[in-house]
Structure 1
Amino acid sequence: MDTVSSLAMEIRRARKESGLTQGELADLAGVSERTIRALETATGNPSLRAVVSVLNVLGLKLGAGR
């Protein structure tokens, strides 16, 4: 499994564990619900700012791989 797919699965898992809908997470992160769907399905090309905002809301961190 690639890094993008792993990140997508982790975002979805954390959102569900937090009891948030995609719409609620989008509101809290200041992004669109479409962006949340794209992140959770590893599709589209969301900005790094959007990714970081969503991760911050969920209490997750983005690490730099080698």
Structure 2
Amino acid sequence: MTIEEIGSVIRERRKLLVITQPELADMAQVSINTLYKLERGEANPSVKILNQLAEVLGLELNLGIKKLDL
């Protein structure tokens, strides 16, 4: 998943839950600037920030292992 896709998922979920950007930033304890950039696909957030946002939005982070072509 690309940074742009992650931002899009966060934005769409936030809108679905009728939460403003300032409200989400406050609830997830992230800066509003970080959230603005993330939703526009301009930020490279840490796993910690993604997890904080996911918790508030009811999303789940999954880590997978790519199959190697040997």
Shorter chain as denominator, the TM-score bin is: 0.7 to 0.9
Deviation digits for residues 9-35 of structure 1 (CA, Å, limit 9, x no counterpart) = 110000001111100000000011111
Q: Number of aligned residue pairs: give it.
A: 65
Q: Structure 1 runs of 4+ off > 4 angstroms?
A: none
Could you list the runs of 5+ residues in structure 1 that have no partner in the other structure?
none
TM-score when scaled to structure 2? Answer: 0.81
The structure carrying a bigger helix percent of its residues is 1
What is the root-mean-square deviation in Å for CA atoms of aligned residues?
A: 1.4
TM-score when scaled to structure 1? Answer: 0.85
Please say if residues 8 and 39 of structure 2, whose CA atoms lie closer than 8 Å, have aligned partners that are also in contact. Answer: yes
| Percent of pairs with identical residues | 40
Residue in structure 2 matched with residue 52 of structure 1 by the alignment: 51
Deviation digits for residues 7-64 of structure 1 (CA, Å, limit 9, x no counterpart) = 1111000000111110000000001111111221121232221111001100001112
Select the structure of larger CA radius of gyration. 2
Could you list the runs of 5+ residues in structure 2 that have no partner in the other structure?
none
